[in-house]
Amino acid sequence: MTQARYRDLVEWPLMATALIFLAAYAWQVIGRVDGAAAAPFEVILWITWGVFALDYFINLWLAEDRMRWFLWNLHELLIVVLPFFRPLRLLRLVTLLSVLQRTVGETLRGRVATYVAGAAAMLILIGALAVLDVEQGAPDAKIMTFGDAAWWAVTTITTVGYGDLYPVTPIGRVVAAALMMSGIAVLGIVTASIASWLVQRIEENAEDVAAAAGEKAAAAEEPVRAEMADLVKEIAALRLEIAELRRATEDSEHR
């Protein structure tokens, strides 16, 4: 089996695994489930970790150039080796973003818009859950509820940053830095997409104007062409008459 064939087969199962992980993690964090009650959720989280670890090693095994694949997929390795940092486990959800590439949208602009919208929503959710996980139990924490975390994530990813809510823990600040960088990247993609759309519209308008000008020129030339055709016909008729007159004159002289 080739690596491409394998990835096509496991794409949707991996997405389902990521969604199960997200549901279990969100329930545990938002509900503040601790102690014995958290044991089922931890089991689910570790099972999903095993699935992603197995997927990583299978991809590495099937790769034609394993060293090249390893170097170009270090983020996949991070997804596997970071289960001990609870908020960073959310890196596994990047699997969901790859599925967005197959969503509706025939044009490149439509695909980019779908991908950006999905990526932004996913990043906001991931950032909110991650920062809430580490902040809600910290001393002097400002982010204590999921609503606060979601608001903080939105203001951070859009690079607004009102300063009313901010993380106080080291891991929370790492999450904030990653979210800010992601927000800059997403806004850059949006700007590039809008610029591409404007250039495309200008080119289409220019082509329409050129086509309309060509049609007007053709319409203006049509009467001239008709007159030229009539003149050619008249000249041909005159030539015939001259030829007949010459023949008649020659016949009369011979007589």
Q: Which residue has the higher pLDDT, 141 or 239?
A: 141
Do residues 90 and 129 lie in contact, with contact meaning Cβ atoms separated by under 8 Å?
yes
How close are the terminal C-alpha atoms of the chain, in Å?
A: 102
Contacts of 13 (CB under 8 A, 6+ apart): none
Do residues 146 and 30 lie in contact, with contact meaning Cβ atoms separated by under 8 Å?
yes
Do residues 134 and 144 lie in contact, with contact meaning Cβ atoms separated by under 8 Å?
no
Structure token digits, residue 62: 């099937």
Do residues 86 and 74 lie in contact, with contact meaning Cβ atoms separated by under 8 Å?
no
pLDDT at 84: 46
Q: What is the per-residue pLDDT across 125-136, written as a single tens digit (0 to 9) for each?
A: 888 988 898 888
pLDDT at 150: 92
Q: State yes or no: pLDDT of 31 exceeds 80.
A: yes
Residue position matching structure tokens 């204590």: 144
pLDDT at 252: 67
Do residues 88 and 82 lie in contact, with contact meaning Cβ atoms separated by under 8 Å?
yes
pLDDT at 78: 73
Do residues 149 and 87 lie in contact, with contact meaning Cβ atoms separated by under 8 Å?
no
Q: What is the per-residue pLDDT across 54-91, written as a single tens digit (0 to 9) for each?
A: 888 998 899 888 899 888 887 777 767 765 455 555 55
Q: State yes or no: pLDDT of 251 exceeds 70.
A: no
DSSP 145: S
Q: What is the per-residue pLDDT across 154-188, written as a single tens digit (0 to 9) for each?
A: 888 887 777 788 899 888 888 888 888 877 877 77
Alpha-carbon distance 6 to 59, whole Å?
Answer: 8
Burial of 199 (0-12, 13-18, 19+ CB in 10 A): exposed
Q: Which residue has the higher pLDDT, 94 or 150?
A: 150
pLDDT at 245: 74
- The identity of residue 133, as a single letter, is D
DSSP 198-220: HHHHHHHHHHHHHHHHHHHHHHH
Buried b (16+ CB within 10 A) or exposed e, 98-116: eebeeeeeeeeeebbbbbb
Mean pLDDT of the 221-244 span: 75
Distances in Å between the Cα of 226 and the Cα atoms of 16, 105, 231 are 71, 49, 9
What pTM was estimated for this model as a whole? 0.63
What share of the chain in percent tops pLDDT 90? 4
Structure token digits, residue 241: 């008459």
pLDDT at 165: 87
Q: Find the range with the poorest average confidence among 56-60, 106-110, 203-207, 223-227.
A: 106-110
